[in-house]
Amino acid sequence: MPWLSVTLEVDAAQADTLSDALLEAGAHSVALEPAGEGRQRLQALVAQDADAARTVAQAAQAAGLNAAPDFTTSPVEDDDWVRRTQAQFAPIAIDERLWIVPSWHAVPPAAAGAAVARLDPGLAFGTGTHPSTRLTLQFLARTVRGGERVLDYGCGSGILAIAACKLGAGEVVAVDIDPEAVRATEENAQANDVRVRALLPDALGAGVYDVVVSNILAQPLMVLAPLLAAHAAPGARLALSGILETQAAEVAAAYAPYFDARPTATHEGWALVEGTRR
């Protein structure tokens, strides 16, 4: 089946929301990549006979954009799309302890002895290529040493939860408001031969965790501060991402009543906020 590739750029803060909205509007997949200067490029795959302008307009409205962004289209054959997508993604060394390796790649010799999470990139959910995901994975590689209880709130593909398991966490719970993300996390965990409890928020219960991570967006992170604090054990480590550098201080301030929190790292305009539960 031939496809149509729809390419557009938006501010980085809008990219994840618009990606989800494009999928809701009928896109088969959405790939994201940095476009420089705080921008993200989105490449959506839609059916060849789809009304691209209508799809983009519907997604922009659902994402709360003031206007639909400009876009370009190009035809893509099935095999061309697969080759193009796979060619963009090679195994990623997060650090010496953790690698992300697409399923079509052999594990590189350099990854010998490291934890390896197998996840196919290029679709809507996190895969390790986005700066905010990489920052959070680096935090997990520094923090998880074995036996920890880990909560991943806003799990998407489950990449953070799976990485925590691979690094030796004793119990990992992944939560998302999207049932499709819960399903994707379950499937990806099974493919990686790890145990992750993937849940909708109402099923989370009242447990506490040693490590809490959330890679979503700044505004929902600030709203979630009391909830994530309630699930953090005394001394628990916190990592928040999906935050632009310009938003990091405000997010840290929202968590200050509960955590000793501060921005600790940045990458390509994105920031990581870390904290320790008081």
Name the superfamily (CATH) of residues 131-277: Vaccinia Virus protein VP39 (3.40.50.150)
CA distance 152 to 140: 11
Measured between alpha carbons, how far is 72 from 180 in angstroms, rounded to an integer?
28
Task: Please state which of the ranges 28-42, 162-176, 235-249 shows the lowest mean pLDDT.
Answer: 28-42
User: pLDDT band at residue 25, thresholds of 50, 70 and 90?
Assistant: confident
First-last CA distance in the chain: 55
pLDDT band for 20, please (50, 70, 90 cuts): confident
CA quadruple 85, 67, 244, 89: dihedral, nearest 10: 0
Taking 60 as the threshold, does the pLDDT of residue 54 lie above it? yes
Q: What is the CATH number of domain 3-87?
A: 3.30.70.260
Q: Share the mean pLDDT of the chain.
A: 89
Residue 126 has pLDDT above 90, yes or no: no
Residue 265: CA count within 13 A, CB half-sphere:
18
List, by residue range, all CATH 3.30.70.260 domains of the chain: 3-87
Residue 256 makes CB contacts below 8 A (sequence gap 6+) with none
Residues 116 and 166 sit within 8 Å (Cβ to Cβ): yes
Which part of the chain is CATH 3.40.50.150? 131-277
- pLDDT at residue number 124: 38
DSSP classification of residue 246: G
Q: Please choose, from the candidates 170, 163, 113, the residue with its C-alpha nearest in 3D space to the C-alpha of residue 141.
A: 163
What is residue 77's predicted lDDT score, i.e. its pLDDT?
Answer: 67
Per-residue confidence band for 231, with pLDDT thresholds at 50, 70 and 90: very high
pLDDT of residue 86 exceeding 80: no
State yes or no: pLDDT of 92 exceeds 80.
Answer: yes
